[in-house]
Amino acid sequence: SKDGGRGRWTAYHPQMDEERETRNQLALDLRSAIENDEITVVYQPVVDSATFELVSIEALARWNRRGHGPVSPEIFIPIAETSGLIDRLGLSVLSQSLTQLTSWPGLKLSVNISPGQFRDPAFTGHVADLFRRTGIEPHRVVLEMTETYFIQNAERARTVLERLRKIGVQIALDDFGAGFSSVGYLRQFGFDRMKIDKSLVQSLGQGHKAIEMLQATVALARSLDVPVTAEGVETDQQAVNLRLAGCDQLQGYLFGRPCSAADIDALRLRPMEL
């Protein structure tokens, strides 16, 4: 049988049909979930590394699949990307979270953007519309992207980044340190922020090489004058090391799991005690 249209012929396994069937069903269910506004957004606190004050929020998509329960974004985001659903899903997340941000003055907001959304010629127009509709100042919003897109579509990426910069929105490189980022392209795109991948953060404590690699990664970003957020911070020790390494913002279960907007309201009224 032909393997997922990738052009390779492989041995036939009945299990492959089953997986494809499950995937097709997931894609169908996801489509109707998007149409019925069943994709929701949770918010994870990001704190200042020196004061532990809440400074920003990352919006993360959630899907509670009817009759099945929650599906991880690690599963449904890739399905949305390959099923032509990512544009609508992404705009829904952006619209919900920008609307929410109007009740959180003083906070910044990060939203994840998939490469597929960047490819849509209407994307920057939609973004500009959302800012007009909500009245949010664009500099309060950071769009997070992973490096794959920038490496594979350097030319197009530059054009879209240019337009987003004109709107005034910020761009962060997500999952930094997990891939192959070269100094050359980090400089060429001029990111407003870099987010150290949680795999690097969580390798801390597993030998002395881990901390050296982390320090080198943060130092690389800072040599380009780009501020650094660390994600996946779960322990005090990690928080201390990351602050000393030069991260100005921290995010992770130590400071708060992704939660409802109401939980963020409560956090704003009663700052976290650590």
Residues 157-186 within binding reach of ligand C2E (CB under 6 A):
174-175
Nearest to 97 by CA among 65, 142, 34: 142
Please identify which residue in 138, 258, 267, 268 interacts with ligand C2E, judged by CB under 6 A: 258
**CA nearest neighbour of 213 among 176, 260, 169:** 176
Extract the tokens encoding 76: 């449904």
> Count residues contacting ligand C2E (CB under 6 A)?
24
Please provide residue 99's backbone torsions phi and psi, each rounded to the nearest 5 degrees: -60, -45
Partner from ligand C2E, Ca ion, none binding residue 232, C-beta < 5-8 Å depending on class = ligand C2E
- CA–CA distance from 215 to each of 132, 235, 239 (Å)? 40, 17, 13
Report how far residue 91's alpha carbon sits from residue 117's, in angstroms, rounded to the nearest whole number.
Answer: 9
Catalytic residue among 58, 231, 234, 273: 231
The first and second tokens of residue 6, run together, are 């990738």
Give the SS3 label for residue 229: strand
- Any contact of residue 252 with ligand C2E (CB under 6 A)? yes
Q: Of the candidates 38, 48, 192, 234, which one interacts with ligand C2E according to CB under 6 A?
A: 234
Nearest CA among 232, 189, 261 for reference residue 40: 261
> Is residue 73 a contact point for ligand C2E (CB under 6 A)?
yes
CB nearer to ligand C2E: give 3 or 76: 76
Active-site annotation holds for 231: yes
Q: Name which of Ca ion, ligand C2E, none residue 87 binds, using a CB cut-off of 5 to 8 Å depending on partner kind.
A: none
Asked if 241 is part of the footprint of ligand C2E (rule: CB under 6 A), the reply reads no
Residues of this chain that interact with ligand C2E (CB under 6 A) are: 44, 60-61, 72-74, 77, 90, 93, 112-114, 144, 174-175, 198, 231-234, 251-253, 258
